[in-house]
């Protein structure tokens, strides 16, 4: 009983999913989609369907492997072996580092509404970013429950302004703003593919509740419920807010907006509203950064337990937290964040962020294959279960391939190169593990 009090429950696990999904990026999504017209709403629906398919895969996997720490890594490793698991872990970890750097930059940008110097003084911006990264690293070192409570609070605070604008904005909609329905200048299929790819970015984080499974109370059912519930909440919030903002602000104006939620709030409540919306963006980024820093420690720990990562990642502090994973990862995040403020490296940094999208899709594909293999190996599975597993895996796989096509050839190619660059690390880890086993004999 005492142990369960120190673990994540349903709502803290759900907040980890919602909090990591709803980062700062969603606040710019209406402006990004405005050039496509009303057809972008179909893209939202398609990406939501795909997200639910992936959420269903993770929900099943969490029930079949309730104690599997590491989420995508653990599932891929169980279903496809060490090498597949390692590739998933490496790609996912790199994507988390870059994502956290980008989230930190978004957080600083939101704060610049209140402290204008942050927008003009790169040294102040870098200092603020470093302070934020290391403060949250310290928070996460205090234990998974402390991090989970902070995640729950920030998730509630970030959702409030988005939902308010989404609901109240419905009364300010001008339906003519959704016309022409397809203003992209391309075919409807091309426009839907593009908007599905763009909006699916907002759903990344579906798997976050599965990564600290060993720290979740009654993980077999809690993780599955949190994954599905978190995806549902994010879907409602995304579509509701996008419909309202695109309906309130003409597309020609919206496509040039750098603060679409703030602009919508000003239309409803006046100039003062931009401050509390900016506060919402800051809280959103802060909460997402907290959630992903938790992942920074849990994922390398799970891989190191299988002796596929250096053993330093397996060490825990007095609170039972694999703190070395958090610290080492935060060093990389700090470097990537500072790069954003260094002339000449901005484009490289942005390109690296783009690459991480494809390295996240790859774990989804691997986990889908693992789900099917693990399900088919279960002796108690019936014919109906076989049919359902094959159908779910097939639909999820098709959706992931569709997203990869939408990313473009160059992004997918370089994402593959980035993932495969880790092969020497894997070879070295296996050699070290074999040497250790030989010494024991």
What is the secondary structure of 159-211 as a DSSP string? HHHHHHHHHHGGGG--GGGG-SS--SSS-HHHHHHHHHHHHHGGGTTTTGGGT
Give yes or no for a contact between 338 and 69, defined as CB atoms under 8 angstroms apart. Answer: no
Specify the pLDDT at position 224.
77
- Specify the DSSP class assigned to residue 309: S
H or E element: which one contains 269? helix 260-269
Paired strand residues for 216: 8
Structure tokens at 99: 């994502």
Q: Which domain holds residue 330?
A: 2-440
Tokens of residue 307, six digits: 């002796």
What pLDDT is attached to residue 1? Answer: 38
Rounded Cα distance between 285 and 23, Å, is 5
Instruction: Output the CA torsion sign for 312, 317, 319, 323.
Output: negative
Residues 6+ apart with CB under 8 A from 369: 79, 80, 393, 397
Which residue, chain included where needed, has tokens 């209140």? Answer: 114
Residues 6+ apart with CB under 8 A from 116: none
Q: Please, is 270 exposed, middle or buried when counting C-beta atoms within 10 Å of its C-beta (0-12, 13-18, 19+)?
A: exposed
Is the bond leading into 47 cis (omega within 30 degrees of zero)? no
Distances in Å between the Cα of 52 and the Cα atoms of 48, 154, 297, 346, 410 are 6, 24, 27, 34, 27
Q: What is the pLDDT of residue 67?
A: 67
φ, ψ for residue 68, nearest 5 deg: -85, 95
The whole-number pLDDT of residue 212 equals: 58
CA distance 93 to 90: 5
d(C-alpha 54, C-alpha 65), whole Å = 16
C-alpha span between 175 and 78 (Å, rounded)? 50
d(CA 410, CA 34): 25
The DSSP result for 52-110, as a single string, is HHHHHHHHHHHHHSTT-TTTHHHHHHHHH-HHHHHHHHHHHHHHHHHHHHHHHHHHHHH
The 10s digit of each residue's pLDDT in 34-45 is: 889 889 899 999
Q: Which residues of the chain have pLDDT under 70?
A: 1-9, 11, 16, 19-20, 23-26, 28, 67-69, 144-148, 151, 208-217, 219-220, 258, 342-356, 380-384, 440-441
279-301 per-position pLDDT tens digit: 887 887 888 888 788 888 888 88
Closest by alpha carbon to 250, among 167, 175, 166, 170?
Answer: 175
Q: Are 193 and 405 in contact (CB under 8 A)?
A: yes
Q: Which two tokens stand for residue 83?
A: 């090498």
Place of tokens 């964040």: 337
pLDDT at 319: 80
Q: What is the pLDDT of residue 345?
A: 45
Mind listing the pLDDT tens digit for each residue in 221-246?
777 788 888 888 888 888 888 889 99
CATH code for position 260:
1.20.1740.10
> Structure tokens of 388?
């359902």
Tell me how far apart the alpha carbons of residues 61 and 75 are, in angstroms, rounded to a whole number.
Answer: 7
Query: Total domain count for the chain?
Result: 1
C-alpha span between 287 and 157 (Å, rounded): 9
């Amino acid at each position: 009983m005492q142990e369960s009090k120190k673990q994540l429950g349903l709502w803290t696990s759900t907040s980890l999913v919602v909090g990591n999904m709803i980062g700062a990026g969603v606040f710019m999504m209406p402006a990004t989609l405005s050039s496509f017209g009303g057809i972008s709403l179909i893209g939202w629906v398609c990406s939501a369907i795909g997200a639910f398919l992936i959420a269903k895969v993770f929900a099943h996997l969490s029930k079949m492997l309730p104690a599997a720490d590491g989420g995508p890594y653990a599932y891929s490793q169980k279903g496809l072996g060490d090498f597949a698991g390692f590739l998933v872990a490496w790609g996912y970890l790199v994507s988390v580092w870059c994502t956290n750097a980008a989230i930190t930059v978004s957080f600083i940008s939101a704060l610049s509404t209140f402290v204008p110097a942050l927008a003009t003084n790169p040294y102040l911006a870098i200092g603020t970013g470093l302070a934020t990264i290391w403060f949250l690293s310290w928070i996460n070192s205090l234990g998974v429950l402390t991090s989970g409570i902070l995640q729950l609070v920030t998730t509630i605070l970030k959702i409030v302004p988005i939902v308010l604008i989404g609901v109240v904005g419905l009364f300010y909609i001008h339906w003519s703003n959704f016309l022409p329905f397809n203003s992209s200048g391309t075919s409807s299929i091309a426009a839907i593919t593009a908007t599905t790819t763009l909006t699916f970015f907002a759903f990344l984080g579906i798997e976050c509740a599965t990564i600290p499974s060993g720290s979740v109370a009654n993980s077999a059912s809690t993780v599955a419920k949190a994954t599905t519930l978190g995806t549902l909440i994010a879907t409602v919030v995304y579509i509701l807010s996008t419909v309202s903002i695109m309906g309130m602000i003409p597309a020609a104006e919206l496509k040039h907006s750098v603060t679409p939620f703030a602009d919508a709030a000003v239309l409803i409540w006046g100039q003062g509203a931009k401050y509390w919306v900016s506060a919402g963006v800051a809280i959103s980024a802060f909460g997402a950064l907290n959630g992903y820093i938790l992942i920074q420690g849990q994922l390398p720990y799970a891989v190191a337990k299988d002796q596929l990562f250096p053993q330093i990642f397996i060490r825990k502090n007095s609170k039972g937290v694999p703190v070395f994973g958090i610290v080492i990862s935060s060093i990389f995040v700090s470097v990537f964040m500072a790069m954003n403020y260094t002339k000449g490296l901005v484009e490289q940094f942005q390109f690296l962020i783009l690459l991480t999208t494809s390295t996240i899709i790859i774990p989804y594909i691997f986990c889908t294959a693992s789900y099917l293999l693990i399900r088919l190996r279960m002796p108690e599975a019936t014919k109906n279960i076989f049919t359902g597993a094959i159908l779910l895996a097939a639909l999820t796989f098709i959706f992931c391939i569709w997203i990869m096509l939408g990313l473009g050839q160059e992004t997918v190619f370089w994402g593959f190169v980035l993932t495969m660059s880790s092969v020497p690390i894997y070879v070295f880890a296996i050699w070290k593990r074999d040497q250790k086993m030989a010494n024991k004999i």
